[in-house]
Amino acid sequence: MQTYDYAIVGNSAAAINACDAIRGLDREGSLAVFAEEKRRCYSRPLISYLVMGDIGEKGMYYRPSGYYRRWGIDFYPGTAVRKVDAERRLLETSKGERFKWRKLLLATGFRPFTPPVEGLEEARYLTFVSWDDARAMIRLTSRPLRALVMGAGLIGMKAAEALHSRGCRVAVVEKMDRVLPLALDETASEMVAARCREAGMEILTGKSVSRVTAGGGYKGRAVLDDGAEVDFDLLVVAVGVRPRTELAEEAGLECRGGIVVDEHQRTSRPGVFAAGDAALAFDLVRGEAAVNALWPVAALQGKYAGLNMAGREVPYPGGNSMNAVEFFGLPVLSAGIVNPPDDSYEVIVRRGENGDYRKAVVRGDLLVGMLVAGKIERAGILTSLIQERANVRRIKNFLLEEGFGHIHFPRSLREERIVEAVAGLTRADRERGRG
Amino acid sequence: MKRRLGLEAEKGGWELKRIIPREEYCIGCRLCEIHCIVQHSKSRDIIKAFKRERRPLKRVEVEERGHVSFALQCRHCDEAPCITACLSGAMHRDAMSGAVVHDPERCVGCWTCVLVCPYGAVRPDGAEKKVVGKCDLCPDLEVPACVANCPNEALVLVEE
Ligand SMILES: Cc1cc2nc3c(=O)[nH]c(=O)nc-3n(C[C@H](O)[C@H](O)[C@H](O)COP(=O)(O)OP(=O)(O)OC[C@H]3O[C@@H](n4cnc5c(N)ncnc54)[C@H](O)[C@@H]3O)c2cc1C
Ligand code: SF4
Ligand code: SF4
């Protein structure tokens, strides 16, 4: 039986960034990637761009062709891992092959959640989470039709936008009282919803689908909780995602709505790591473990899992919720806490002349959240202040100002960030006389 | 001693040029911005770049407040958050130079890098196709245009 030094289950953001990190430290160790999907790694968030024709199929790939060969990775496409034995360090694939491993990474991602709606099981509908889903959507919308999207989260809104670009008449039903309720605050939600309505979409918030009646093919009718009926030719269900933990659970790893990991992305079993949407890792804004089902967070966790697997013990710095969206020409970026749960948070808001909207959420001396809509330039400075848990007491009043930047920082902090970080010298190095 | 965690697999033995601003010498004249624009224009001619062609994005920005000013461009971070965050793989480290570079062909203009860059150094390009732009260290020049054209040596180049 073949033994891999590193075996990775999954082939997306977390998995590939783990491969990069491992190969940065260890070019010799044997490395295998097991992928349930048949394709080499593609960027999942780009499926809406594919449907909209913004990119072609070639634009979907996250890494150049030849990536696996170049970095000496045994790639097993179309091969799901069915079973993991964490005790004897074995795994078994859907093709019946068995492998030994020394270090294992579970980067199994998420799966779409199916809501318990009457009649849904009998109906045909689409999800919108994979390249295959995108292809199906393109095929089914070769002629414009009436589409109903359940859920106005990121995936639902991306699906709605894609359907709209295909000429469909789109209605979106959302149980919460606004679109993108997690990523945005009320004002920004309203701004996005207004753009969508202007473009001709129907946005039905504060309503849920209570029953679906199949009507042949993908056609059907949805009955909403207020009694309204919506006929559709195509239904897309996007009411949320759940970490895929079944493999981990069967292997006896601790899971709590996500695979539990420590600060080195290690699970409860020796030699087994987890990263990405499947993992419950540290959120540095909330100060506790949380699932942030986001590409950059999955990538960062993958990177740190890879480093630790290859023997460099570095703690994961923590992730945070962050979103970059643009609907119908309105870009919105947000990070951290944008909907403060109580009044221990201070909220600063600024509106520009051309409808721009900016918001900062401060708690004590820390910036814990930000949102910018319209003008998004340089918002990353705010994100970094959130992530670095920097003391913003002295610059609080400038955060949302036009032209906010390092110029507002105390000089020592500015130099630390701009000069020292680049020259690779920390203040401590300087004091030790290395500068 | 350089502090570097060799993280991305591509990292090799390159000599990366870095641009350091010196605020004591910057007078806020913004010549760096102008020459950056010219260098990234189609014709690389100052009149054409500003008057006839689509004016390219400036990849260096002078921050100014009172008497203090300095020019800031991409730091080509050792641990580049933009690379890790990029949805498409467009943002990557150039294996030859070690610079953090951006492939406009692969970029989809999702703005995730704008959201994570701690320096505000990557920004939407006003181009027709939604893409971002950032400092590329002027690969065709021995010394980047902003550094070469600063009258006060308020931008200096250090090579690791
Ligand atoms: C339409 C859409 C738009 C999105 N837009 C954004 C966005 O704009 N910004 C953002 O930050 N995030 C976005 N996301 C979320 C982002 O795609 C995810 O956070 C990211 O893909 C998570 O990466 P991951 O590596 O954890 O796992 P996933 O991408 O979920 O991949 C896991 C992979 O593992 C495979 N797998 C699972 N179990 C097994 C097994 N037993 N054996 C073998 N293989 C297995 C799966 O088939 C899958 O390919 C979007 C998602 C969707 C669907
Ligand atoms: S664009 Fe920003 S994050 Fe990326 S390398 Fe440059 S300074 Fe660092
Ligand atoms: S805007 Fe382009 S470079 Fe930036 S994260 Fe998105 S795809 Fe990558």
Cβ within 8 Å, pair B18-A417:
no
* Predicted TM-score (pTM) of this structure: 0.95
Query: pLDDT category, A409, cuts 50, 70, 90?
Result: very high
The CATH 3.30.70.20 domain(s) of chain B lie at 16-74+137-160, 78-134
Could you please state the CATH topology (level 3) that the domain comprising B16-74+137-160 is classified under: Alpha-Beta Plaits (3.30.70)
Predicted pLDDT of residue A301: 98
Cβ count within 10 A of residue A325: 23
Give CA–CA dist A170/A144, Å, rounded: 10
| Residue (of B50, B46, B36, B132) closest to A378 by Cα position | B132
Predicted pLDDT of residue A103: 98
Give CA–CA dist A18/A369, Å, rounded: 28
Query: pLDDT category, A434, cuts 50, 70, 90?
Result: very low
Q: Does residue A150 have a pLDDT over 90? A: yes
- Does residue B80 line the site of ligand 2, with CB under 6 A? yes
- Segment A381-385 shows an average pLDDT of 97
For ligand 2, atom 6: residue with the closest CA: B74
B96 touches chain A (CB under 8 A): no
Query: pLDDT category, B8, cuts 50, 70, 90?
Result: low
Predicted pLDDT of residue A428: 43
Any residues with Cβ below 6 Å from ligand 1, and which?
A 9-15, 34-37, 44-45, 47-48, 80-81, 107-110, 128-129, 154-155, 158, 244, 247, 276-278, 293-296, 298; B 110
Query: pLDDT category, A344, cuts 50, 70, 90?
Result: very high
Q: Does residue B6 have a pLDDT over 60? A: no
Q: One-letter amino acid identity for A198?
A: E
Predicted pLDDT of residue B9: 47
Predicted pLDDT of residue A345: 97
Predicted-complex ipTM score: 0.94
Query: pLDDT category, B16, cuts 50, 70, 90?
Result: confident
CATH architecture of A329-414: 2-Layer Sandwich (3.30)
Query: pLDDT category, B160, cuts 50, 70, 90?
Result: low
Predicted pLDDT of residue B12: 58
Give CA–CA dist A39/A37, Å, rounded: 6
- Segment A388-406 shows an average pLDDT of 94
For the segment(s) B78-134, the CATH number from 3.30.70.20, 1.10.10.10, 3.20.20.70, 3.40.50.1820 is 3.30.70.20
The tens digit of pLDDT for each residue in B61-83 reads 999 999 999 999 999 998 899 99
Q: Count interface pairs A-B at CB distance under 8 A.
A: 154
Q: Does residue A157 have a pLDDT over 50? A: yes
Predicted pLDDT of residue A359: 98
CB proximity under 8 Å: B 14-73 to A: 18, 20-21, 61, 63-65, 68-70, 72
The tens digit of pLDDT for each residue in A276-289 reads 999 999 999 999 99
Distance from CA of B160 to the nearest CA of A (A): 8
The CATH 3.50.50.60 domain(s) of chain A lie at 3-111+242-309, 120-239
B68 interaction partners in chain A (CB closer than 8 Å): 407
For ligand 3, atom 6: residue with the closest CA: B110
DSSP result, A202-234: EEEES--EEEEEE-STT-EEEEETTS-EEEESE
The tens digit of pLDDT for each residue in A196-231 reads 999 999 999 999 999 999 999 999 999 999 999 999
Residue with tokens 């630390």: A416
Give CA–CA dist A362/A343, Å, rounded: 11
- Segment A289-297 shows an average pLDDT of 95
Predicted pLDDT of residue A424: 54
Query: pLDDT category, A275, cuts 50, 70, 90?
Result: very high
* Averaged pLDDT score across all residues of chain A: 95
Predicted pLDDT of residue A432: 42
Query: pLDDT category, A422, cuts 50, 70, 90?
Result: low
Q: Does residue A408 have a pLDDT over 70? A: yes
Predicted pLDDT of residue A404: 96
B125 touches chain A (CB under 8 A): no
Domain spanning A3-111+242-309, CATH class: alpha beta
Predicted pLDDT of residue A145: 96
Q: What are phi and psi of A20, to 5 degrees?
A: -55, -45
Classify domain A120-239 by CATH number.
Answer: 3.50.50.60
A403 touches chain B (CB under 8 A): yes
The tens digit of pLDDT for each residue in A67-111 reads 999 999 999 999 999 999 999 999 999 999 999 999 999 999 999
